[in-house]
Chain A
Amino acid sequence: MARAISRNSKIGWTVAAWLVALIIFFPILYTIITSLKTEQEAIAGFDLIPSFSFSSYETVQNQNNYFRPFMNSVVIAVGSTLLALIVAIPAAWAMAFSPTKRTKDILMWMLSTKMMPAVAVLVPIYLIFLRTGLMDTRTGLVIILMLMNLPIVIWMLYTYFREIPGEILEAARMDGATLRDEILYILTPMAVPGIASTMLLNIILAWNEAFWTIQLTTTNAAPLSAFIASFSSPQGLFWAKLSAASTMAIAPILILGWFSQKQLVRGLTFGAVK
């Protein structure tokens, strides 16, 4: 029997949820507020009321054209995600439906690669990129970000696939479905919410990645992470400009997250309750 929830308790939980949401969102909100201040106001101290000065946005756009790094970010984030899915779906299928006694070990090993600090492999990867002509190219970043996020993508897909009854796939096989048909026409449509949320999460991770995207680019493929990094100044006020650049950089992903939040939540809680 469902537990009765009193009105007061409901209000209390709602307020608490809003408070938690506000605390989580506050850094982003304050970045947006700071971007609408003058440099003097921005460094003066904590103040939630900006003077609604748009001069920082103007300076940022004049100093550094936004659209080139924006396009690089789009190509790199979407490209690396699609490539990761192409590799991860068959891998997760194999692990979910044809596990061996080493499957768990392989999954743990893949996850353990995420525990290594990226800087530990900087020099070898830098040299590989130099020798293969991948330095400062979108292709290079698509590959490296795909590799970086692949363990998470495989893990997420593996979890979703495990929730799909193997009997359905068996039935498809008995009806003459090939392996390709099984993955493409049976498994993938059933796991769409999971794949969609994996895709969204991976796009967000790739969009926000700020180590490899700065280390492996100079001018041609530099995405929005490099764009933000260019507005910090050792001698001169820069908080408002930096906030404006950050707001411009996170705006697309915030909008994407806002419109896809239902799918994201559905996907992330997929399989949580049997």
Chain B
Amino acid sequence: MNRTIRALMGATALCATAGIAAAQDTTLTVATVNNGDMIRMQGLTSDFTEKHPGITVEWVTLEENILRERVTTDIATQGGQYDVLTIGTYEVPIWAKQQWLVPLDGMPDDYDADDLLPAVSEALSVDDNLYAAPFYGESAMVMYRTDLAEAAGITMPESPTWADIKAAAEAMTDKDNEVYGICLRGKPGWGENMAFLTAMANSYGARWFDMDWQPQFESEEWNAALTDYLDLMTNYGPPGASSNGFNENLSLFQQGKCGMWIDATVAASFVTDPESSTVADKVSFAQFPNKEGMDNHGNWLWAWSLAIPASSQKQDAAKQFIAWATSKGYTELVASKDGWRAAPPGTRTSLYENADYQSEAPFAAMTLQAINAANTQKSSVQDIPYTGGQFVAIPEFQGIGTAVGQQFSAALAGQMSAEDALSAAQANTTREMTRAGYIK
């Protein structure tokens, strides 16, 4: 009897030791992009490893498109090189349907998934299963200079129409002093000018495709949206706008050269940061504009999110990491180190209920309103066969969106008319959608 007990105890001890050894061997490889919030997370990794002594974390930071390429190759070949991926709301539904991602069920009890903002949570779910946890989220809104608006005698409504925007841009423009009424994206790319123009077109009642996947660029709505965009940028925008993306406009706004900038809500924390913005205390916010009589504010929604590839061999440890990085506790950790303004925005309801955050982040209420208003399941007022807000959630969109973006950017550069750009976009998209088998 004694011998049996001793043998059992020995075996248990051996198993325990082996278990500890195995746990200590777990190294998670996290692939990410070089955004400020991600870099901050890297710096705080020790908090996670202290709480999970058996796990170490290795970071791979890559340029956004290289990251997509690398991760796609790795998942397609079942390489298992990565355990946690940083991906966006565009990839999550597509990759989840391909069964490339692991559903994030069985998260720890204190994770409180119900606290995630419903619009964000919905955009990252397929068949009611969450496939990625949002690290930070964004919609789009108007950021404008209160001093310039006041000097021009303009009162910006909380929910402006495109006519209000045009009037404000005209009033605030002072080209002699290098102040331009409006700064918008013009650099070609599905995630650059087409993110903005798709949201703008949504707010004009346009849609990318009808229910038979026929492109709709020759519709009145697209024509009105693109014509107004070109009119705004040609008359009141900065020179060389066709090469301006998020970063270029951020710089222009921070230098006080833009009266308004309509872009991702995450920019609000940059333009109100006194360390990098010369106009930090002269900025206010308004909802993404809509066309008069059209109940649609663009439906822009993006969330950089953490997901586990199906090829990962360390899915349990990866889940623990994601639970830590996207938890309420992580937000509090960031706030304790760098202040509430630095807390990753746009993911949890509790952040927007926090009085400290509200007082430190003047953009909090408008950000929340913009995110909550975004409907990525039906981004157009017309019937559509796709999901996605400022993009179309099909694998072909990266190529098609960039090709269309090049036409529209050329129109902005004055190389072609709006009609010619729309015709070219229609022809190109019809060809690609036929090739891909959507159009029979």
* Residues of A near any B CB (own CB < 8 A): 39-40, 43-44, 63-64, 122-123, 126-127, 130, 135-136, 214-215, 218-219, 222, 226, 229-238
Q: Which of B34, B66, B73, B255 contacts A122 (CB 8 A)?
A: B73
A219-B60, A230-B60, A234-B64 are known; give 17 further A-B pairs, CB within 8 A: A44-B251, A63-B39, A64-B61, A122-B73, A123-B73, A126-B74, A126-B77, A136-B81, A214-B62, A215-B73, A218-B60, A233-B247, A234-B35, A235-B35, A236-B34, A236-B35, A236-B247
Q: State A92–B366 Cα separation when bound (angstroms).
A: 69
- CB contacts under 8 Å to A, within B259-309, are 264, 266-267, 270, 276
Q: State A233–B33 Cα separation when bound (angstroms).
A: 7
Q: State A44–B253 Cα separation when bound (angstroms).
A: 11
Q: Is B106's beta carbon under 8 Å from chain A?
A: no
CB-CB under 8 A from A130, the residues of chain B are 77, 79
Q: Report yes or no: A238 in contact with B247, Cβ–Cβ below 8 A.
A: yes
Q: State A40–B247 Cα separation when bound (angstroms).
A: 10
CB-CB under 8 A from B82, the residues of chain A are 218
Q: State A237–B247 Cα separation when bound (angstroms).
A: 6
Q: Report yes or no: A234 in contact with B29, Cβ–Cβ below 8 A.
A: no
Q: State A229–B250 Cα separation when bound (angstroms).
A: 22
Q: Is B76's beta carbon under 8 Å from chain A?
A: yes
Q: State A174–B60 Cα separation when bound (angstroms).
A: 60
Q: Which of A44, A63, A122, A234 contacts B33 (CB 8 A)?
A: A234
CB-CB under 8 A from B74, the residues of chain A are 126
Q: Report yes or no: B254 in contact with A40, Cβ–Cβ below 8 A.
A: yes
Q: State A122–B255 Cα separation when bound (angstroms).
A: 44
Q: Which residue of A lies closest to B247 (CB)?
A: A237
Once A and B bind, how many residue pairs between them come within 8 Å at the CB atom?
Answer: 85
CB-CB under 8 A from B66, the residues of chain A are 214, 229
Q: Is B175's beta carbon under 8 Å from chain A?
A: no
A131 CB to nearest B CB, Å: 10
Q: Which residue of B lies closest to A64 (CB)?
A: B61
Q: Which residue of B lies closest to A228 (CB)?
A: B63
Q: Report yes or no: A40 in contact with B276, Cβ–Cβ below 8 A.
A: yes
A13 CB to nearest B CB, Å: 37
Q: State A135–B73 Cα separation when bound (angstroms).
A: 13
Q: Which residue of A lies closest to B246 (CB)?
A: A235
Q: Report yes or no: A231 in contact with B60, Cβ–Cβ below 8 A.
A: no
CB-CB under 8 A from B69, the residues of chain A are 215
Q: Which residue of B lies closest to A59 (CB)?
A: B39
Interface string of B146-160 (1 = CB under 8 A from A): 000000000000000
A71 CB to nearest B CB, Å: 17
Q: State A127–B81 Cα separation when bound (angstroms).
A: 12
